[in-house]
């Protein structure tokens, strides 16, 4: 199973998912469906420090403090400080709800270099509707505070069928606030989003309009703001690579210490998931079955194996292949060469039926977690 | 863009320039990304940690590399590129 060149891969990016706890309830959350009963199983501060040291030794340079909401952890700022001292470039990915001016100042002193704040809508009502809390004004205030303290700020606007028409409003808002980076990130259909797909997947027409609106904005406002539009892959003919290539660039550590090549990999059946409590990050990165299983192209089945484009997309996303076809070795069904591409066509068709009677959005909370976890086990 | 004829500049204070053992090269880190630097880029950028004028920078480099004939033009090109990528920022007087 081992390939010769494992040492050539450097996990440039460590995604530190400090906790799955979060004050929001977004129905497109990429966190697992099961909510932890408590937080006792989370890694300790000492565990995280060891993980960060081992990641630096492997060559990791970027760290993203994420979750859930990373600031729910009381030691988040201390961990930022340690990461900065170790030579990491520190990014904080936050809902902004736990932020205060004082907390931002503490983050800056600790060495944070970039803060990304998410918005669920371009106005108070939409933002409250999809985040599950009335937080719009606080998010605006914290966005301004981050900019005032001269910390590079990125805004992340998660798009789906019910807010994608707000793209221009959101770009205007971001520009007025003085943001440097804006990510218009279409929901990707994993975890919670997959279960809400019929209610969230935009139509192709909506997508085209949103992308055109983004381009028009770029043409009309030639400022310093850098706006990226990330489309959902359902309308593509070729799949996206897994995280720049499975086990090549990214390493994710979950709140309990599982080490994954991407945020979703734990959904794949039949693999043992290594944990930092049992092994060093180096051993896991170089030698674990999980990280080696889908590295490169030798694991592929047809039609990927003989496809001339196999090096470009590496067969697409293993999690998506598993979720939608039940086989993690299958071609990502996004690819129109996949014999199971009809799964995607059916999903698009099913999402276009506007049925008010259909199941409402599942927001991420304990009740829905139990319901969806039971459904998934039953299927 | 930076007016290199009149303004002093230095490395963007929100970026990090450092040597990486695993990569065996210098990298410049910025929000969610990085660029691996050539030896020439490192030679120039490491002299921009403090505020500096283009004229002084070129004179200093020329002292250390007297045989480099196109040095002034090469450095100018590099500075333009570095400014367009926000690696360098202007220091207001």
pLDDT in tens, B16-59: 999 999 999 999 999 888 999 999 999 999 999 999 999 999 99
Q: Does A326 contact chain B (CB < 8 Å)?
A: no
pLDDT number for residue A10:
94
> To the nearest whole angstrom, how far is the Cα of B90 from the nearest Cα of chain A?
15
pTM: 0.93
All residue ranges of chain A with pLDDT < 50 are: 1-4
Rg (CA), chain A: 20
pLDDT number for residue A3:
44
pLDDT number for residue A293:
96
Residues on chain A touching B33 (C-beta within 8 angstroms): 62
Looking at residue A53, the DSSP 8-state letter turns out to be: H
The listed CATH number (1.10.10.1150, 3.30.1280.10, 3.10.580.10, 3.40.50.300) that belongs to domain B9-90 = 1.10.10.1150
pLDDT number for residue A1:
38
A282 vs A86, A243, A287, B38, CA distance in Å? 17, 19, 8, 28
pLDDT number for residue A38:
81
Length of chain A: 379
Largest CA distance in chain B: 39
pLDDT number for residue A2:
43
* Token duo for residue A102: 């004082």
pLDDT number for residue B92:
78
Region of B89 on the Ramachandran plot (φ > 0 left; ψ -120 to 50 alpha; else beta): beta
Q: Does A240 contact chain B (CB < 8 Å)?
A: no
Q: Do A87 and B18 lie within an 8 Å CB cutoff? A: yes
For residue B20, the chain A residue with the least C-alpha distance is A59
For residue A57, the chain B residue with the least C-alpha distance is B22
- Positions of E strands within chain A: 13-19, 62-67, 89-94, 112-119, 153-159, 181-186, 226-230, 250-253, 259-260
* Token duo for residue A24: 């929001």
ipTM: 0.89
Q: Do B14 and A91 lie within an 8 Å CB cutoff? A: no
Q: Do A181 and B31 lie within an 8 Å CB cutoff? A: yes
Which residues, at least 6 apart from A41, have a Cβ–Cβ distance to it below 8 Å?
Answer: A255, A256
pLDDT number for residue A86:
98
- Rounded CA gap, A119 and A127, in Å? 7
Q: Which residues are bridge partners to A158 per DSSP?
A: A185
B7 vs A237, B10, B14, B17, CA distance in Å? 49, 10, 19, 22
A378 vs A230, A269, A359, A374, CA distance in Å? 33, 15, 18, 6
Residues on chain A touching B30 (C-beta within 8 angstroms): 89, 152
pLDDT-above-70 percentage for chain B: 99
Query: For every residue of B33-64, which 3-state class applies, written as one string?
Result: EEEECCHHHHHHHHHHCCCECHHHHHHHHHHH
Q: A residues 123-162 near B, CB within 8 Å?
A: 150-152, 154
A219 vs A18, A206, A215, A246, A310, CA distance in Å? 39, 20, 6, 36, 35
Of A115, A103, A119, A121, nearest to A156 by C-alpha is A119
Task: Label residues A172-211 b or e (16+ Cβ within 10 Å = b).
Answer: ebbbebebbbbbbbbbbbbbbbbbbbbbbbbeeebbebbb
Residues on chain B touching A113 (C-beta within 8 angstroms): 14-16, 29, 31
pLDDT number for residue A154:
94
> To the nearest whole angstrom, how far is the Cα of A89 from the nearest Cα of chain B?
7
Provide the terminal-to-terminal Cα distance of chain A, rounded to the nearest Å: 31
Strand pairing class (B25-30; B16-20): antiparallel
- Rounded CA gap, A247 and A58, in Å? 13
Rg (CA), chain B: 13
Task: Label residues A227-244 b or e (16+ Cβ within 10 Å = b).
Answer: bebebbbbbbebbbbbbe
Whose tokens are 């139990």? That residue is: A370
* Token duo for residue A214: 């983004």
Nearest to A61 among B14, B27, B31 (CB): B27
- Rounded CA gap, A29 and B10, in Å? 40
Q: Do B32 and A12 lie within an 8 Å CB cutoff? A: no
Region of A132 on the Ramachandran plot (φ > 0 left; ψ -120 to 50 alpha; else beta): left
Q: Do B14 and A12 lie within an 8 Å CB cutoff? A: no
């Amino acid at each position: 199973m081992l390939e010769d060149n494992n040492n050539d891969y450097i996990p440039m990016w460590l995604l530190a998912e400090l906790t799955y706890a979060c004050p929001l309830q977004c129905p497109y959350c990429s966190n697992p469906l099961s909510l932890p009963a408590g937080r006792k199983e989370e890694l300790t501060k000492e565990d995280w420090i060891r993980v960060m040291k081992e990641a630096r030794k492997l060559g990791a340079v970027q760290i993203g403090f994420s979750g859930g909401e990373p600031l729910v952890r009381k030691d988040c700022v201390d961990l930022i400080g340690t990461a900065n001292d170790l030579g990491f470039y520190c990014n904080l990915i936050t809902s902004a709800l736990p932020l205060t001016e004082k907390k931002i100042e503490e983050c800056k002193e600790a060495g944070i270099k970039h803060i990304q704040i998410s918005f669920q809508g371009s106005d108070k009502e939409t933002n409250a509707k999809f985040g599950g809390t009335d937080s719009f004004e606080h998010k605006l205030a914290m966005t301004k505070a981050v900019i005032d303290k001269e910390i590079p700020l990125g805004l992340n606007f998660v798009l789906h069928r019910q807010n994608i028409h707000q793209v221009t409003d959101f770009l205007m808002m971001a520009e007025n606030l003085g943001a440097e980076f804006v990510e218009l990130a279409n929901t990707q259909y994993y975890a919670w989003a997959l279960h809400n797909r019929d209610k969230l997947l935009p139509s192709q027409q909506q997508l085209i309009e949103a992308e055109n609106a983004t381009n028009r904005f770029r043409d009309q406002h030639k400022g310093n703001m850098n706006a990226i539009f990330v489309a959902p892959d359902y309308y593509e003919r070729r799949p996206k690579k897994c995280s720049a290539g499975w086990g090549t660039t990214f390493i994710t550590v979950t709140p309990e210490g599982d080490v994954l090549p991407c945020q979703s990999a734990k959904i794949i059946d039949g693999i043992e998931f290594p944990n930092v409590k049992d092994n060093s990050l180096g051993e896991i990165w170089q030698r674990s079955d999980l990280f080696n299983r889908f590295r490169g192209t030798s694991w592929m089945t047809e039609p990927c194996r003989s496809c001339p484009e196999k090096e470009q997309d590496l067969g697409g996303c293993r999690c998506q292949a598993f979720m939608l076809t039940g086989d993690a070795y299958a071609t990502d069904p996004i690819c129109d060469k996949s014999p199971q591409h009809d799964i995607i066509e059916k999903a698009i068709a099913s999402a276009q039926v506007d049925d008010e009677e259909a199941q409402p959005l599942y927001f991420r909370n304990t009740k829905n977690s139990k319901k969806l976890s039971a459904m998934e086990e039953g299927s | 863009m930076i007016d290199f004829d009149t303004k002093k500049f230095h490395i963007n204070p929100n970026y990090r320039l450092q040597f990486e053992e695993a990569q065996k090269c210098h990298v410049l880190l910025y929000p969610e990304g990085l660029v691996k630097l050539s030896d020439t880029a490192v030679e120039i950028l490491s002299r921009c940690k403090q505020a500096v004028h283009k004229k002084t920078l070129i004179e200093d480099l020329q002292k250390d590399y007297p045989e480099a004939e196109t040095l002034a033009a090469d450095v100018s090109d590099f500075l333009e590129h570095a400014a367009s990528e926000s690696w360098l920022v202007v220091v207001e007087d």
